[in-house]
Amino acid sequence: VLPGLYAAGECACVSVHGANRLGTNSLVDLIVFGKHAGIQAAEYANGVDFQPLPQDPTGLSRQQIEKLYSGSGKEKAVTIGRELKKVMFDDVGVFRTADGLHAAVEKVKELRDRFQHVRVSDTGKIFNMDLLNTWELSNMLDLALVTALAAEARTESRGGHAREDFPQRDDANWLKHSLAWLDDQGVRLGYKPVVITNYVPKERVY
């Protein structure tokens, strides 16, 4: 938890709709929790002083951008992005298997390694979409790795995560949120229990 950082919408993961929200229901997250987050953020801001900034607050971002500008590699971001889309669509879609997820993890690791040799072709400093798309791809590669590893570890089916090799929901072992930490050593997975209030999760049957 980062004090002073507030989120609203699906990125906040308040789990109003469980593991598989219906279409357009994210509006509930935006309207209800957007209001609450705004109120709480204002109250927090009124009660704290400004925190000191690091000596070079933009240093990391500038280093990342300069690396993309000055790279000598021959890899193209568009090629890596196309391969990333394919493997995530094929192996990390709604219907998943252990073999497919393992293959996806290995492929994403390969793409992340290849990304280290990407160089943007447009070195302009104004409205540079080549730079923006390449920078965003680096984030997508990180998220793809985390998603595939968390899905591989979750040996059950729940909501939009349908394991064909584990078709049943397993509340005894998996009624918990997946958490992930990514650093230079790789991905570390952790879990947080689901807080049950008025409504106990039940199997969806038709």
Which residues, other chains included, contact 185 with Cβ-Cβ below 8 Å and sequence gap of 6+? Answer: none
Quick one: 87 and 173 in the same domain?
yes
Predicted local distance difference test score (pLDDT) of residue 154: 97
Query: Is the pLDDT higher at 181 or at 4?
Result: 181
Quick one: 65 and 117 in the same domain?
yes
Quick one: 28 and 65 in the same domain?
no
Quick one: 16 and 106 in the same domain?
no
**Parent domain of 179:** 59-193
- Which helix (H) or strand (E) segment holds residue 144: the answer is helix 129-153
> Into how many domains does the chain fold?
2
User: Residue 176 is part of a domain; what is its CATH number?
Assistant: 1.20.58.100
Q: What percent of the chain has pLDDT over 90?
A: 60
Quick one: 47 and 107 in the same domain?
no
Q: Does 202 reside within a domain?
A: no
Quick one: 80 and 135 in the same domain?
yes
Predicted local distance difference test score (pLDDT) of residue 21: 67
Q: In this structure, how many other beta carbons lie within 10 angstroms of the beta carbon of residue 108?
A: 26
Q: Does 201 reside within a domain?
A: no
Quick one: 165 and 118 in the same domain?
yes
Quick one: 4 and 67 in the same domain?
no
Q: Does 36 reside within a domain?
A: yes
Q: What does the pLDDT look like over 26-64, one tens digit per residue? A: 787 788 889 999 999 999 999 998 888 888 989 988 998
Quick one: 181 and 124 in the same domain?
yes
Q: Does 143 reside within a domain?
A: yes
Predicted local distance difference test score (pLDDT) of residue 90: 97
Predicted local distance difference test score (pLDDT) of residue 125: 85
Quick one: 164 and 110 in the same domain?
yes
Q: What does the pLDDT look like over 54-89, one tens digit per residue? A: 889 899 889 988 888 887 788 999 999 999 999 999
Half-sphere exposure in the Cβ direction for 116 (13 Å, CA): 5
Q: In a 3-state reduction of DSSP, which class is residue 14?
A: coil
Out of 34, 52, 70, a domain closes at 52
First to last CA, the chain: 39
Quick one: 7 and 67 in the same domain?
no
pLDDT bucket at 202, cuts 50 / 70 / 90: confident
Quick one: 69 and 5 in the same domain?
no
Q: To which residue do tokens 């984030």 refer?
A: 139
Q: Does 45 reside within a domain?
A: yes
pLDDT bucket at 8, cuts 50 / 70 / 90: confident
